[in-house]
């Protein structure tokens, strides 16, 4: 591929970008796209690297690297989160932006894909330092962003607070009140209360859909590996339903397991202090060990790479619903697929956040309030439609659900490209 070799960029995360390109090429081959069209789909529309100088609390000046990638603008403005991590680099940011393009197209919302990052360690920065870094980053990428250009949202180590800072910076520079310039902002300044739980709502709906045609003996057992915002929402939603039992959960402190079901009240109490491993319910298990405990549905909802070829043979589940990004290696997926384990890929499973962001964005443009119950119902309906389409494509083409999800996304973007044509 001319012009697309990430190894020339010198980024430490080149493998992530290579994997994203490989995934695109598989989809392009399945769709019969010409190489030139695949290369056009692969190349980000805009990539910017900025210096983010920050005056630290002790008076010293530190300069961090910042990135913003707009992978596609074909179906609408770029949409994607902003993450703060000492491991972030350009290759990772490009790969994540590409994934957002296919995700938005898969669930059929009018956005392209974007992603931003600042290479910093927020754990070693004060709130004042983080605010100065956020506002400076926003000012540096200001010409690229806006409601009709690129809409930022929370991601790793960022949240409502950072979105409020970016919105305030944007409005101050432009001299106008523009609520749709970011999503995931606090409710008090135009955010949506439903946005906080939206990803978990979508994951829970994917669990329900994936269990529709499987015969289970008794209640469906679920393990939630990663009891953060997403995992906790999934557990609390499914735990209210008679057909489900939450038998395992974990966070950084460790895990708990009970084949008959955990006490969700005790689990919530422990989660409030970040100590799920010490919850007064079930038996203690290690985080890695929990993945291998007996269950019907496994929901990896924390970090990527937790399911791999070294532990895949030890997993005892029938369905994996990927609440986290990239939790399963390709080799592990092949091994588990041969055993009949069903997958709901991350591209679909954790798309609830961007769907809710779309509702928040469109409401902000129109000055309309979107009620939480309305968002949940519309989100679940969109997830169900996308799920059925993925399953149908998987069966018709005899491909994995992951490949089917990417094929659908790539096909919709490619068709939009052809409809628009090239300028000039």
Catalytic annotation, residues = 115
- Residue closest to 279 by CA, chosen among 261, 254, 297: 254
Token pair listed for 187: 């409710």
In the β-sheet with 342-344, what is the strand arrangement from edge to edge? 283-285, 254-257, 244-251, 220-225, 297-300, 319-321, 342-344
CA dist., res. 176 & res. 174, Å (int): 6
3-state secondary structure at position 208: helix
- Residue closest to 110 by CA, chosen among 77, 145, 147, 152: 77
Strands (E), 31-181: 46-55, 61-70, 78-84, 112-119, 150-154
Strands (E), 74-163: 78-84, 112-119, 150-154
3-state secondary structure at position 336: helix
- Residue closest to 39 by CA, chosen among 53, 55, 28: 28
Report yes or no: 303 and 288 within 8 Å, Cβ to Cβ: no
Q: What DSSP line would sit under 288-334, residue for residue? A: HHHHTSB-SEEEE-S-SS-B-TTTGGG-B-SEEE--SSS-B-HHHHH
């Amino acid at each position: 591929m001319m012009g697309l070799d990430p190894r020339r960029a010198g980024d430490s995360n080149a493998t992530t970008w290579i994997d994203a390109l490989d995934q695109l090429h598989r989809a392009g081959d399945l769709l019969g796209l010409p190489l030139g069209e695949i290369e056009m789909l692969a190349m980000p529309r805009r990539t910017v690297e900025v210096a983010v100088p920050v005056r630290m609390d002790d008076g010293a000046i530190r300069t961090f690297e910042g990135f913003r990638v707009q992978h596609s603008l074909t179906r609408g403005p770029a949409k994607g989160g902003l993450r703060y991590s000492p491991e972030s680099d350009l290759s990772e940011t490009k790969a994540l932006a590409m994934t957002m393009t296919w995700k938005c197209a898969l669930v059929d919302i009018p956005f392209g894909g974007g992603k931003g990052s600042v290479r910093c360690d927020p754990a070693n920065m004060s709130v004042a330092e983080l605010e100065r870094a956020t506002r400076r980053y926003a000012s540096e990428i200001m010409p690229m962003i806006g409601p009709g250009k690129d809409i930022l949202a929370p991601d790793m180590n960022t949240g409502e607070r950072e979105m409020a800072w970016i919105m305030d910076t944007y409005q101050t520079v432009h001299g106008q009140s523009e609520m749709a310039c970011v999503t995931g902002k606090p409710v008090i300044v135009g955010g949506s209360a439903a946005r906080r739980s939206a990803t978990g709502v979508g994951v829970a709906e994917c669990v329900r859909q994936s269990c529709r045609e499987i015969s289970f003996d008794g209640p469906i057992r679920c393990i939630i590996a990663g009891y953060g915002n997403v995992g906790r929402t999934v557990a609390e939603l499914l735990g209210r339903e008679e057909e489900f039992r939450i038998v395992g959960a974990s966070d950084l402190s460790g895990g708990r397991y009970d084949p008959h079901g955990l006490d969700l009240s005790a689990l919530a109490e422990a989660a409030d202090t970040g100590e799920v491993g010490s919850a007064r319910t079930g038996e203690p298990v290690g985080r890695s060990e929990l993945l291998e405990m007996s269950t019907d549905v496994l929901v990896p909802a924390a970090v990527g790479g937790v399911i791999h070829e070294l532990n895949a043979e030890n997993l005892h589940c029938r369905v994996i619903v990927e609440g986290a990004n990239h939790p399963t290696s390709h080799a592990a997926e092949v091994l588990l697929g041969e055993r009949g384990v069903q997958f709901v890929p991350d591209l679909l499973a954790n798309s609830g956040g961007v769907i809710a962001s779309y509702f928040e964005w469109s409401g902000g443009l129109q000055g309309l309030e979107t009620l939480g119950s309305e968002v949940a119902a519309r989100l679940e309906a969109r997830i169900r439609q996308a799920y059925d389409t993925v399953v149908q494509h998987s069966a018709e083409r005899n491909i994995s659900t992951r490949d089917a999800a990417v094929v659908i996304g790539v096909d919709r973007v490619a068709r939009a490209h052809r409809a628009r044509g090239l300028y000039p």
